Every structure is written in structure tokens, then in C-alpha cells.
Structure 1
């Protein structure tokens, strides 16, 4: 739930009442608030506080839920242990932390109702907003309620919370409530509650008019009027907020001013150190402020906060400039003298903020840099970026002696190798820019990161530092592609020119690896293969393992595309083994996208599926939403090929549901468009095609995305009778040509075009231009590789469709196509070509044997079409059978089947025959799997295929048909006993 309303409208009071009721009903309530310190937000502050409360309320349960992941979760809750150190810049770090947090909350809430309250989102740091968005999108189980509040009047047009609220409100699991102001009657009831008597109607009118129904102002005005304080009746609401503060003793007023500048909550020991009062005097001053209802003890009982943040803001605004900086200096000095005065997870950020607002650059610069390192270690990259920008602001005003003492090894993680020792070389401004560029990319602030890289490259124009410049050009290429501002090649080419001729280095290896990966997607060929080979060689020479594995993955894929299929796959499987052996790697997500994709490109869908399912699980555990979306999209493609269309549909929907960025969502829409087209829903196919094009955009076209969209567009246009549009889409593609290694996209596209021409053959309006189009398709087909059985089969299919478009349909042509597809696990493709073979048999002067064979082919095709919901194919089969007066309604009698082996005539493979034998014997899927040494899932797939081929509705009918056709002779008693 999102709970909004202006300051003072009653959000906190409503939550307090709700929490009290929930606790009485047995719920566990954990509250956390966003902390403001001098206009800075603490990374993950509300989650850290809420988890700390859960640990206090449910210590054993939280420990059990966090077991095995304490190092990672300690980034949010240091009490769990020492946070993992080491290399902190990894693409997965923040997402992995988010996923573990979600699973932690689900486990704690598995057996009890847990309410997590997060207050004051308008002060939330960016990392908190990202984590909240992740939780709202991914939490799926557990008795968990998450409530977040925010000030609606603070959410201006450009406030970073505004787009998040709009995004979350669209989620089905999220409710948003905006609290309104009180009516006059409600104000009257509130005043009655405050005064313990019915108020004078004139007084209600006056207070209602002054407060405009704001509950907090109603209370302040009512108390001021009751106490006879005329200051409370001035025109200034700010004076109204200060009136009771100014009525305190001077010592209590001073304490209030100190607390106001210390942050949302100030710990008692820290306050004591800053106030510099005797303990009795401090307590007396605090008692006066608490007694006047100005300050309250914090929920943990170890500090103080203002009863309402509006009062704190008014007191803070009333401070003199010198007074504000003096208080901040005292806070900083106290915290430096005793770091235990504040929680460990807040220490560095608060110290940096205090020194910064004390206007002491010499102290602030190292403190801000320390805080940026801490933010990086917690994967709070948004806060790291903000702190690094503050450090860059302080750089020129800090004394030279202070800057000279700073070292890269202490503050930066992505120090580009340039022949300098990071332990002895002074820290440079460019080092901060490098850190900020990476932090900006990881937290999604890509425009800010682009500006930083632009400025850095401008500074490097006056320096002879090609490696550092090449490194920044790589970052810029990634950012340009991510922002859909271009394809990133110009930036990569510049980086390549800078490192050409230089000795091997990590930057050089990364440039080559990135170039090879780019070329694999955009311009595959010998150049890409050479770059990948050199990237592997250079990475090994300099010991850059992640770059080496990434380059080897690219190399393996390029080898597959170049025809070295088994060697390329062996390379990719070795990378998979290395990733498993060495633990988490930057390559793991890309591996589970690319390896199964190349398996699918070879028609090895059955082999690709388990790799994809493993990838889904790994991506889910690591919180990699975009990676998971890509994998779901590829899984949808493989399941479609295997004839598991309902699962393919669900996988495509998961891609759209999970994907955060455009391209994975485009992939999901593309898969949905293809399914809708095959099932005959042309309007839905058109909608999804348009959505896919929008998601992919036009700035970075790649064959793997653009060619399938053209194929779908041709199919939709042909289905709607717009053959000229289909031809136009084809011609535009053929003018560009098919890059090497794109046969997996080219063959289906040419097939769609050839089929469209063949289906329109004989229509007068479509005759002009047909011969030219057919010839262009035939010529383009000669340029596509056929290095796998699936594409050899497509070559035969395209050839047969082109002959059909020319008016030639022979059983021989289509028999070869059917023969090519029968060994492949492509039930829909096989059904389509069986339909064409039946058509050829029936139109070539068929005798009784041909008619019998055509009947069987159509029956098998219809069974698959019905099972998949492929309505166009089912309609085409029914129409052909009707025109030929063939009866397909019943399963064939034994006499129709070949006497030698009836199972073969039914289209059953040898494995399906084994499965059917066990189905007929009454075995379950699990028993079948155990007996045949296959997985239960595979057994289920075989059973589904058998039911479709036999055209029966269940296992019982399948067993009855098998017995009636005498497919399996009775086993001997001895054999039965042995079984």
C-alpha cells in the first residue's frame, strides 16, 4: 500500500492506529523511516531500521531466514555479520541484494502476518526507491503487508519519487490512498477530542478556516487557543509552528535547535557530546521539550526526534547561517572522536554530511570519499554517485596537501591501468570521474554518467593517456546503447584505435572483447572472430578472468555461426563449467542467454530448454530481472519449436512482466506476436508486433531482433490479404541482405515470404511481380548457410513453396520435405508440411493408396493443430479434407495401418512407442520416467505428444486404442513377474 497526503494530514497517526490493531490481532509490525540529514538521505535507512526491528521481535526466525546469506544481507543489517568485501563493482551486486531481501521477508512472513511500514518516502534515497520498486514487483508469497508513506505536497513535477509512484500504482498488488483534509464537521470532532469538551462553533469555524482542515494545524491552533497564546493566531503558519518552541526555557530551545540540525533522529549520546551540557542540565532541557510535546523519544528509546517534521523544518530554517555550520562541525567532531555514537551503517554518511554542511572542505573531501566507498560496498550506487559528485565539487576548494594524501587504492575500484601504482600515486580528479561513470551506469543515471564521460574525455585531450581514454570510450559506448542514442560503434571504434599497437593490458582485452560481442550481434564475420580470439589471448596474458570468459563465450558463438559447430559449443560448455567452478561471475547471465540461443539456432531445442530453466533460476536467485527476462524470451522460442505452446505463451508473458528495459520487453512482445499469428489471432499479432517495434526502437537495429519482426510482419500481411505489403517488407530486407550467421532468422523469413506467394498463386491481382519476387527469394536462399539439419529441412521447404508459387506441386517435392522434418522435434512444422504433402497427393491424380496416405497425413496434422490451437492450420486441413471428401473424425481402424508396425503408421517415434506401452500398462508419469531413465517432465511431454498423435483426450482412451489395435502383444507371465 502507498499512503500519501500533505504534511500534517494524519498519515503517521493513521499508521500508529493501524499498527496497534494489527499487533492486537497477532501481527508482527516493523517500522522504518527514511532519514534526512541536512537534505541527504541515508542509503536503505528505512529497510535497515525495519529489519533491525524484525530482528528484535523475531530473532530466531530472522536468523533462520538469513542463514547462509549473512554476508550479503549485512549490507542492509550490519548486525548479521561482516559484509562481504572484495570486488564490489559487479553488475549483479545490487540486484542480488534486492532478491535476497525479498526472499528474507517472504520466509519471515511464511507462517505469520508481518507488517513492514516505511515512512517518509519523499526523503528516500535512490537505492531505497529501487529496492522498494523491486519488492513491490517481485514479492509473491508470505503473509506480508508493505506500507509506504510519502508527503504528497512535496512530490513536485520533477521529484524522483513521482515516476516510481506512477509505476507502482499500475501493479495489481498495490493499493494507493491519498489522505484528504478534514471537513468542518471532522475538525469539530478533532477539537472536541483535544479539549475533552464540545468546542464553541465560532471557534471551530475560525480554526477550520485557518487550518484548512490540516489535522496537525488544527491541533496546534486548538492548543494555542486553549492556552490563550495570541501568537498562535498570527497570519504566519511558520510562527505557529515556532510559538511553542519559543515558549520553552532557553536551554530547551537550544537543544531543539541542535536536534533540528542533527537529522530526523539524534542519538542521546551524540546529542550529549554536541550540547556540551552537564548531564542533569541536558536531561532537564530535554524534559522541558518533551513535556511541551515538541520532542519525542525515538522508537528504539536511544534518541530523540521532533514530534512532527514540520516543526523540525521550521526550527532548522530559523537557524542563522553561522549557527548551522557550527552545529554541524560539533556533530562531526563528536562523531570523529567516538564513532560508536551512531549505528555503523549510518556512520560514514552522517560524518560526510556534517563536515560538508560545516563548510570545511579539508575535512569534508576525505569524509565524502569514505562515504562513497561505503555506499559502493552496500551496492547503493545512486548514493555513491551523489557523494562522488560532491567530492568533485569539493576537489578544487580542498587544500593541495589534503588531495596529495589521497590514494586511488583507498577510494576507487575501477582505476584504469595506466602504468601507475594505485598505492603510491596520488588520487586524481579523473579517478573520481571513472568511479562516477560506472556508478551512474549501474544505478540507471545514464544521462549523468554520459555527461561525466564527455567531460573526462575532454580533459584527456590534453594528456597522453590512451588506455584511460579508451576505457572511458568503452563506458560511453555502453551508455549510448543503453539510452538508445545509437549503436555504440563509433565509441568502440575510437577505443580500438587508441589501444592499437599498445602492449597487452586489461583495458586492451576489454576493448577487443566488447568489439567482438558488438560484431556478433551487428556484423558477424571473420573480423568479429579475430577480435574474440585476440581478446581471449590478451585477457589470459594479463590474468583478467572475467574478460577471458566473456570473450570465450563470444568466440564459441561466433565459431558456431561460422560452421565449426561442435568446437564452438564445446568452447561455450567449457565456459559454463568454469563459471560453475569459480562461482558467481559477470558472465553467468550472458552464458545462459547465449548458449541456449546457439543451441536453438541449430535446432537443438530439447538441449536448450534445461540450460534455459537453469538460467531462469540463477537469474531469479541473483535478482537479475533483465537477464531473467531475456532467458524467458529464449525459453519461449524453444518451447514454441517443441510444440509446447501454452508454456511458450506463459514464458513470453513472463518476459514482459519481469523485463525492466526496452529490448527484453521487445523480445517478449515478438514471441507473443508469433504465437498469435500461428493461432490465427491477427489483430493480437499486429498489436504485439507494434509493441515489439516500440520496445526495440530504431537506434540500435540488430538482425536477431529485426529479422523475426519482418517475418511476423510478412505473415500478418499475408494473412490479411495484403501481399503487396508483404512483398515490400521482404524487398527492404533483401536489399540489406542477410549478415553471416543469421540463417536461423533468414530461413523462416524466406519461408514466410515464399508461403505468402504460394498461397496467393492464381489470384489475378497478385500475379504482377510474382516471378520477380520468387526469383529474389530463390537467389537469397542460396546465400544462407545450411550447416544444421533444421536449415537443410528449411531449404527443402522453401524450394517446395517456391515451386508451389510457380504452380508446380508434386508429391515428390513435399515427400522430401516431410522426410527432412520427421527426425526433428518440430511438431508444428511437421504438421504443416504433412498438410502440403497430402494436398500434393490429392491434386496429382490420387489413387486409393494416395488417398489413404493423404487421409493419415491430414489426420496427424489436424491432431497437432488442434492440440496447439493452430486455427489456420486446422482450418486448412479441414477444408482440404472436405474438398477431397475424406473422413478425419475417427481414429483409423487397424486395417488402415501398415500391418508390419501399426505404431509407425500412427507417427509414433520409438521412444513414444515405449512410453505408450507403459501408459497402456497403467503406469504414472513418474513410473514411466523411472523405467525409461528420463525425467518426469520429459515423460509428460511424450504423453502429450502421444495423445495428440492418437487424437484422443486422455490416457485411458490412449490405452484402449493401443489394446484395440494390438500395438503391444501380451507379456509372458515370467516377464511380468520379472517386471
Structure 2
């Protein structure tokens, strides 16, 4: 009977109801061993099945520390395959080979070189599989005994709980709270999941006296004697499993309180019923305890060396005593409670344990079909290791590490490789000499001059362990292993190999960047020096490819293009096509930036197409990022949008979540350039849901800051700029990540009237310079800096230092190529803004700028240029009708975009010049994400509309314009120039304003305007 747990069961059933309504649920159930976690899950399972939900249960296996990855997920998905065979096949359609890494029954996992994105892709595809299965039904996924979870299981669980957003899914995990000590590997995961609002923790307390009484009544089929109840409650302390064990140990007369004695130690208590079994049943129990969490019946029959009738009799006795129980699929046996298994295992003598493990290993070697194919090697490796036989253990441990790598279980691969390194010196030399990488898998990195047929060395293991640790996210461990390997290479005469050393140095370069400890150039330069002058090799090609990629991001120019050319050449010479395609993408990107866009983009397309032929997912994913970015750089925004949309579909379909973030960001960038701001919002929302790395979060924040700035939501823009800079950090200066936030910071500072702050931002960024290829970021920044200077002309203390700023802008601007139409337009914009900053209207420059932007798809920049053209014409005393047309066109564009600050500036100029404009829609009047109807001015609660403070002060529209300029610190002459009136008329307006406001002078008038926030910037 089910006892107590009313509140906890209510939480679970409510979660089930919410999931059935379409809201995924995640719960973690903790409690000490024996407190009743499994019994609670059983009760929930019954209720869920009664409501037509599908329940799949998978348990973690203690052998997980030895490298059996994804064990609970494999078991649960296997259950779903039995329950929903057709649905699971349909949900996995097209991704069977990838998902086979978790559920081998789906197909044969692809085998090949290291795929750095493979784990993330596998996790995303698993999440999507569950979402598809849970579209039309509620799926309850139960993962038991997470305290035994392998690292890959923990990582996948964390990913699922962060990423599941759709489907009728409940994910339940159970763990022993008393086992989670300070250094337990599950502890950081629990802390991380506690920060997720979507995850609930349920802690099971021990039973109180009344609940123990109810439990005993169910066990004894009647009310327990009060003395028995007191003794059992005292000794069990409310632990449900101990209550059961104590009750059973009382004997047949337990209900009367006359039963036998009790052991004082917990282990002896747990062994009471085991020791009461017949001798054969006790032997079988010991075998099952050492054979793993579950032992298959055929395997047990082979190891027990009993007649089958005798084995069945022994099993029947153990099952009848509630020591063992059949597994749910009926092909094996397990302990009814893991505490009993641990007690039996701990009771084994050291020699007895080794002998049992040897028996298991010998039987598995003789007949591998006795266990599942996906578990065979790992279990064999574990048995030989615990049999203390290095000669047998080392080869099979290495095979298990290869299988873990194939399954993208890099954490388990690392543990196995560390075990291999532990066994290395103990294994006989003749055994070590027979070890080779598998013929059908490039299992170990090409990290030096080892001949193809030579045996593996200890350095080969260290190289593979470095890779496994780096790709598996254990970067500190990877650094430590690579450091030890480099010390070995320096210290051993026969180990000195520049190619091996170079390979380890490029891994350290990657690791330093991933750990935010630098930009990785020092390590990369060391690797480059080591391979200098050597004959071409795969390592040499990889070094050159990485140097070219690093240069392209940090200091693009002719040298990086030369490095890319050499990387392509060397990769072709040695047949390293994967490296060659990466280098070709880099070369195409650099060629396009160097002034040959058609040639460069054509090469990038060709490299991508070849990667598609090879089904090289990682390279296709990279091309999906780089190609739209390069197209946008060259002003081909429509083409970039079309290609990015295909890239989103590809990365989503193949589970490349981090790649999808970057592609969606590039899509948003091009949509924004084209004036499709609402669509850009949608793309960024999709990207934000998938962000995993700091840099991808920085990209999204920077793009959101730009949209918020142009819409006039300055507080949000400031917040996003701060976020972007925090995500990008200062350890790895890349122009693409640092120039755009600086431009936005300059614009925001100028909006606040903080010209000194804007100048400081500019001075800081020009210290890094603007290498060739950065014009897409540098030219808009220079334009923003000059525009801020132009807007500040005539303000107190603003003119000092302007000449130096403009000179610096000219110096840097001349070095930036403007070889394609969009950057020629920006170059003209910069020259026109420089003239404005120097007080020269230069309408002819603005005319050329408008014409240039009319030929490219940049509606915001075109509207801005038309505004400036109209102002220049008015400043040049041209006919107002000449200024009216560009002003009207600019206003129409600004209001359509929802660019409130630009629209207000246009309206202000039109008001000064007495040029009539159509009424602006509400979208241009207030910050927001999308255009919409004008807001209703009435208060939400009803009542009078708040009075306009300007009208309340009795000021006319023209006096409002004059007061705005007075509050900005302008003299009467400057007011006259701005409003196209005479100085005398301006003086009259100022006198009238002072009288209406009741103030004594201009300073008081400005202070009052600021205090009343009449003109918020």
C-alpha cells in the first residue's frame, strides 16, 4: 500500500496536468537511500498511465564512472521504442544515425574524425525527438539514481532541462541526497538547475510515527504491536526501507513482538535476509552484486556454473525473499534495492571480488552476445580492470574509449583514457607493442611523425585525452595534460618532435581562448615557429589554417590571406580535405574583404558545396555563418537573408544549436539593414532562446542594442551595450565584437550630451586601429563620431578638441577601402558629416550621399542622408521647396521604420523651416518593437487627459522651439541660425519666454526646462 507523501504526490500530479496542457515540466526528487523515491515514482506511473500518458523509466548504472554513457536515456528511449515504435521512428526520421549514439537500435552511428560540434548536435536532436513524441501525447521520462549518472548523462540532462520548451513532456530525476557530498559530481549540476525557474526540487522526508504505523500495517497485514512499532520507528528513524527490513527481520511472530534479535550495524541489518538464503542463492546474489546494476540471465547462467535448474531454484529463493527482482524487460535480474546490493558487494573479500570479475570477463570474451552490443566493451573493460589484469585490461579499455568517442561521450572517453594511462606502465611491453588505432576510425589525433603502422605511444594517449577533455568541456584538465605532454617532449631526447609539440600548442591556443585567459596568439605563434621549414603535414596545414583564421578575426590583411593560401596548399598536398575546406572558407572571406568580392564569395560557395557532398556537418554549419556575413559585408543583404534562412533550417534540422544562434544573428543583421526591423526582432528572439556561449550572447545583445537605439529606447540600448561588452570581455580583442558596441556607446553618449564620454570611447578604440576588412564596422563608427561632433557645434566647451578628433577620423578613414557600393556610400556619408562638423553646409556632398544610398538597400541611412541634405539646403539659403522633397521622403521612411529619434529630428527641422509634414503614426512617437496604432491618450482608469506642459506654460509652438535651443545652451544668434529667423526676432521670442515662465534670465529658463523634463533626450 502507498503510505503518506500526499503533498509530494500532489506536486507531481499537478506537473503532469500542466504538461498535458502543453507546458513541459521538470522535477528533481531527492531523498536519502531507502526513503521511498522509487515507490513514489511507481505511484505516479500508475496515475499517469491511467490518464493515457506514456511513461519511460531509465536508471543510471554505477559503471557509469567507467564509461557507460547515456545509460538512463538509452534505457528510457528503448522503452519508448517498445511503447511507441512507429511514432519514435517517425520522430527520428532523417537523424537515425546520429540518435543511434544514444539508442543503437535506430541504426549505425557514423564513424569518422573528431566532430567538435557532435555532442551539442546530439543533445539538440534528443530534445527535439522528445518534443516530437510529446506533440500528441504526454510523455513522462524518469531518470532514476542520478547520483550514479555518468558525466554525459548529466550534461544531456542539463541541456534538456534548459532547452525543452514545447511538447507534453515531464522529465523526472531522482537522486540520493545523502550521497551528494561536497565534491560529488552531481552537486554542481543541482546548483545550476536550482537557478532554472522551470525546474522544481522535491525533497522526501522520512516517515513520521503515524506513517510508519500505516506502513507496518500493510507489511504485517494488521495493526502492529505498540512495542514493535516503537522499536522499529526508533531504529529505522522513519526510513521506509529500513522499516521494511526491520519488520521482515522480526520473523513470523513479528506482529506479537516476540521476534528474533536485530543487528546493531546497518550493513548487518541489510544482510540479515541475504544470509538466511540457501548457499546457492547467496552465491548468486554475490555474483549479481558484482556483475553490475543489472545482470542478464544467460550471462548469470554462464558465470554461476550451476545447472540451470539449480540456478533457477536459487533465483526463486532470492526473489521470494525480496532480495532480487526480474528486470522490467524480463531478460535479467537486479537487486530490489541498491542498498542491499552495496552491502553484499562490500561484504565480498578482495580476492573474491577479483575472481568474480575475472569470471565475468572470461565469459564475456568467450561469448560477447551475452550482453547488449552497446554495453559489451565497456563492461568487459570494467571487469578486467577490477580483476587487476593490466595485460587484459589495457587493450579493452582503449577500445571502450573509442566507442565512447563515437557516441560523443567525451567525458567517459577521458575517464577511460586516464585509466589506460594508469595501466600503461603495468601492462607488459609486448602488449603495448600490439596496440594500434582501429583501421576504420581515425581514433587518435594526427599529432606528429608516428608512422602509420607504428604502435601507440603514451604521448598518443595524452593527445587523445587532451582532445577528449577539450571537446568535453573539461578545459582545465586538457591544459594540465597538454602541459605534461610538452614537458615530456622537452625532456626526452627520443620524444623531441616539433610536429607533436606544435599539435599540443594549437590545442593550448584553443583552450586559452575558451577559458578567457587570452587570445591564444602566443601559443599559436609557438606552433607556427615549430613547423616553420618542415615538410608539409596534416599538423602543418592545421597550424596554417588556424593562423589564417585567427588573423582574419583579429588583424585581417595581406598576411592572413597569404597564410590561408598556404594552408589550402599544404592541406591539399597531404590530403587533409577537412582542413582544406576550413582554410578555403577563410581564404574566400579574406579575398572578398581584400577587394575581390565575387571571387571570394564564389570560393566560399564552392567550399560549402563540397562540404555538403561530404556531409561534413561542421563545415556546412560554419559556411552557413560565414557566407551570409560576408554577403552582408559586401552590401548583398537580400542574398544574405535568403542564404541565412537556409542556414537556419539546416542548423535546426541537424541540431547545431550554437551555429543556429550565429546564423540567426546574421539574419537579423541583414533584415535590420533592409529596414525589416520586426523580422529582425523575431530572428533575435529565436537566437536568444538558443544561446550557449558568451560570444553568442554578446552578438544578440549588441544587435538588440542597435535596434533599441534607432527606435529611441535609450535605456534598453544602454543596458544591452553593457551586456554585450560584458559577454565579449577584454581578453580577446576582435574588431567585429568591439567596434560595434563602441559605435553604439558613442551614439548614446552624444544623445545625453556627454561629448567628452563619446570622445573617450573613440580614443580608446582607435588605439587598436582599423585593419583592412573592418570597414563594415569602422566606417559607421567614424560617421557616428563625426555626427556627434557636428551636433555639438556651438555648445559650451564642445569646440575645444574637435579639430584633433576630426583629424584622427580623416586619417583612419583614408585607410579604409570603399570598393563596393555600400561602403562607397558610407565613405561619402563620412565626408559629408566632416563638412557639417566643420560648419560647411555642403549640399552637393549630401546630394552625392543620397544618390549613393539610393542605389543600395539601406533605408535608414538613406533617410538620415535626406534629412541632412534638407538641412544643408536650408543652411545654404536654398528655396524651401528644394528641401521639402527630401524631408518628406525621409519622414515617410523614418515613421515606417519606427525610428522615433530620426522622425523627431525631421519634424523639428520641418517645424523650424515651416515645412508641412503629414501626421506621424504612433510607431514613430514611442519606443517599441513593432509599429502599431497610435496610443490612446486617455488614462487607463478614465478621467481627464493630462495637460501638455508646454501649453500649460502658455508657450506657442515657435516659443517651444526657441526654449529647446535655449535649454541646449545656444546663443540668440545660434537660435536664429537654427530656426531660419533674424537675431532680433529670436531676441523677442526669448524675452516673451522669460516673461511667461516668470524667470529672470536664460539660465533660469534652461534650468526650469530641464527640471520639468520638457525636452527629454
TM-score bracket for the superposition, by shorter chain length: 0.7 to 0.9
Q: What is the distance in 1 between the residues matched to 2:843 and 2:686?
A: 42
Q: Given that residues 388 and 432 in structure 1 are in contact (C-alpha distance below 8 angstroms), is that contact kept between their aligned partners in structure 2?
A: yes
* Pairing 1:405–2:434 present: yes
Q: Given that residues 372 and 383 in structure 1 are in contact (C-alpha distance below 8 angstroms), is that contact kept between their aligned partners in structure 2?
A: yes
Q: Given that residues 64 and 149 in structure 2 are in contact (C-alpha distance below 8 angstroms), is that contact kept between their aligned partners in structure 1?
A: no
SS in 2 for 1:150: strand
**Matching of residues 778-857 of structure 1 within 5 Å:** 778-850=810-882, 853-854=883-884, 856-857=885-886
Which deviations, in whole Å up to 9, do the C-alpha atoms of 1:601-623 show, x marking residues without a partner? 12221111111111122222222
**Matching of residues 318-329 of structure 1 within 5 Å:** 318-329=347-358
Aligned to 1:4: 29
Aligned to 1:95: 120
Q: What is the distance in 1 between the residues matched to 2:109 and 2:844?
A: 69
Q: What is the distance in 2 between the residues matched to 1:303 and 1:19?
A: 22
**Matching of residues 647-662 of structure 1 within 5 Å:** 647-662=679-694
* Pairing 1:74–2:100 present: yes
Q: What is the distance in 2 between the residues matched to 1:434 and 1:306?
A: 40
Q: Given that residues 838 and 858 in structure 1 are in contact (C-alpha distance below 8 angstroms), is that contact kept between their aligned partners in structure 2?
A: yes
Aligned to 1:182: 207
Distance 1:837 1:325, change over 3 A: same
* Pairing 1:305–2:334 present: yes
1:555 to 555, 574, 587: 587
Aligned to 1:144: 169
1:115 to 140, 152, 168: 140
Q: Given that residues 38 and 263 in structure 1 are in contact (C-alpha distance below 8 angstroms), is that contact kept between their aligned partners in structure 2?
A: no
Return 673-682 or 803-812, whichever deviates more: 803-812
SS in 2 for 1:737: coil
Q: Given that residues 65 and 415 in structure 2 are in contact (C-alpha distance below 8 angstroms), is that contact kept between their aligned partners in structure 1?
A: no
Q: What is the distance in 2 between the residues matched to 1:291 and 1:50?
A: 27
Return 215-224 or 475-484, whichever deviates more: 215-224
**Matching of residues 138-287 of structure 1 within 5 Å:** 138-171=163-196, 173-199=198-224, 204=229, 206-225=231-250, 226=254, 233=262, 235-287=264-316
1:47 to 69, 73, 85: 73
SS in 1 for 2:689: helix
Distance 1:742 1:563, change over 3 A: same
Aligned to 1:58: 84
Runs of 4+ in structure 1 deviating by more than 6 angstroms, as ranges, are: 229-232, 944-948
1:761 to 793, 798, 820: 793
SS in 2 for 1:647: helix
Q: CA deviation at 1:554?
A: 0.9
**Matching of residues 579-594 of structure 1 within 5 Å:** 579-594=611-626
Corresponding pairs, count: 892
Q: Given that residues 88 and 376 in structure 1 are in contact (C-alpha distance below 8 angstroms), is that contact kept between their aligned partners in structure 2?
A: no
SS in 2 for 1:587: helix
**Matching of residues 466-481 of structure 1 within 5 Å:** 466-481=498-513
Distance 1:117 1:310, change over 3 A: same
Aligned to 2:917: 888
Q: CA deviation at 1:861?
A: 2.9
SS in 2 for 1:115: strand
Q: Given that residues 626 and 660 in structure 1 are in contact (C-alpha distance below 8 angstroms), is that contact kept between their aligned partners in structure 2?
A: yes
**Matching of residues 383-782 of structure 1 within 5 Å:** 383-409=412-438, 413-416=443-446, 418-423=448-453, 425-461=454-490, 462=492, 463-782=495-814
Aligned to 2:158: 133
SS in 2 for 1:745: helix
**Matching of residues 286-301 of structure 1 within 5 Å:** 286-301=315-330
Q: What is the distance in 2 between the residues matched to 1:62 and 1:764?
A: 72
Root mean square deviation of aligned Cα = 2.6
Distance 1:660 1:790, change over 3 A: same
SS in 1 for 2:52: coil
SS in 1 for 2:172: strand
Q: CA deviation at 1:107?
A: 3.5
Q: Given that residues 391 and 431 in structure 2 are in contact (C-alpha distance below 8 angstroms), is that contact kept between their aligned partners in structure 1?
A: yes
Q: CA deviation at 1:814?
A: 2.4
Q: CA deviation at 1:333?
A: 1.2
Distance 1:945 1:56, change over 3 A: closer
Q: Given that residues 701 and 724 in structure 2 are in contact (C-alpha distance below 8 angstroms), is that contact kept between their aligned partners in structure 1?
A: yes
Q: Given that residues 231 and 239 in structure 1 are in contact (C-alpha distance below 8 angstroms), is that contact kept between their aligned partners in structure 2?
A: no
Aligned to 2:396: 367
Q: What is the distance in 2 between the residues matched to 1:39 and 1:703?
A: 43
Q: CA deviation at 1:199?
A: 4.2
SS in 1 for 2:855: coil
Q: Given that residues 66 and 416 in structure 2 are in contact (C-alpha distance below 8 angstroms), is that contact kept between their aligned partners in structure 1?
A: no
Which deviations, in whole Å up to 9, do the C-alpha atoms of 1:308-339 show, x marking residues without a partner? 11221222222222222121111111111111
Aligned to 2:892: 863
SS in 2 for 1:182: coil
Distance 1:845 1:664, change over 3 A: same
Q: CA deviation at 1:75?
A: 2.5
Q: Given that residues 652 and 669 in structure 1 are in contact (C-alpha distance below 8 angstroms), is that contact kept between their aligned partners in structure 2?
A: no
Q: Given that residues 95 and 622 in structure 1 are in contact (C-alpha distance below 8 angstroms), is that contact kept between their aligned partners in structure 2?
A: no
Q: What is the distance in 1 between the residues matched to 2:208 and 2:898?
A: 58
Q: What is the distance in 2 between the residues matched to 1:243 and 1:338?
A: 35
Q: Given that residues 448 and 503 in structure 2 are in contact (C-alpha distance below 8 angstroms), is that contact kept between their aligned partners in structure 1?
A: no
Q: Given that residues 232 and 239 in structure 1 are in contact (C-alpha distance below 8 angstroms), is that contact kept between their aligned partners in structure 2?
A: no
Return 278-287 or 451-460, whichever deviates more: 278-287
Q: What is the distance in 1 between the residues matched to 2:290 and 2:653?
A: 41
Q: Given that residues 559 and 568 in structure 1 are in contact (C-alpha distance below 8 angstroms), is that contact kept between their aligned partners in structure 2?
A: yes
TM-score by length of 1: 0.87
SS in 2 for 1:316: helix
Q: CA deviation at 1:202?
A: 6.0
Q: CA deviation at 1:151?
A: 2.2
Provide structure 1 residue ranges, at least 5 long, that are not aligned to the other structure.
Answer: 893-943, 949-979
SS in 2 for 1:122: helix
* Pairing 1:28–2:58 present: no
Provide structure 2 residue ranges, at least 5 long, that are not aligned to the other structure.
Answer: 1-25, 922-929, 935-1017
SS in 2 for 1:658: coil
Q: CA deviation at 1:73?
A: 3.0
Q: CA deviation at 1:208?
A: 4.1
Q: Given that residues 897 and 931 in structure 2 are in contact (C-alpha distance below 8 angstroms), is that contact kept between their aligned partners in structure 1?
A: no
Q: Given that residues 289 and 341 in structure 2 are in contact (C-alpha distance below 8 angstroms), is that contact kept between their aligned partners in structure 1?
A: yes
Q: What is the distance in 2 between the residues matched to 1:400 and 1:142?
A: 56
Q: What is the distance in 2 between the residues matched to 1:235 and 1:458?
A: 54
Which deviations, in whole Å up to 9, do the C-alpha atoms of 1:179-229 show, x marking residues without a partner? 333344433433333334344566555544443433323333344453769
Q: CA deviation at 1:39?
A: 5.0
Q: What is the distance in 1 between the residues matched to 2:292 and 2:64?
A: 6
Q: CA deviation at 1:304?
A: 1.1
Distance 1:409 1:336, change over 3 A: closer
SS in 1 for 2:797: helix
Q: Given that residues 552 and 560 in structure 2 are in contact (C-alpha distance below 8 angstroms), is that contact kept between their aligned partners in structure 1?
A: yes
Aligned to 1:878: 907
Q: CA deviation at 1:353?
A: 0.5
Q: What is the distance in 2 between the residues matched to 1:495 and 1:290?
A: 63
Distance 1:113 1:202, change over 3 A: same
Q: CA deviation at 1:357?
A: 0.9
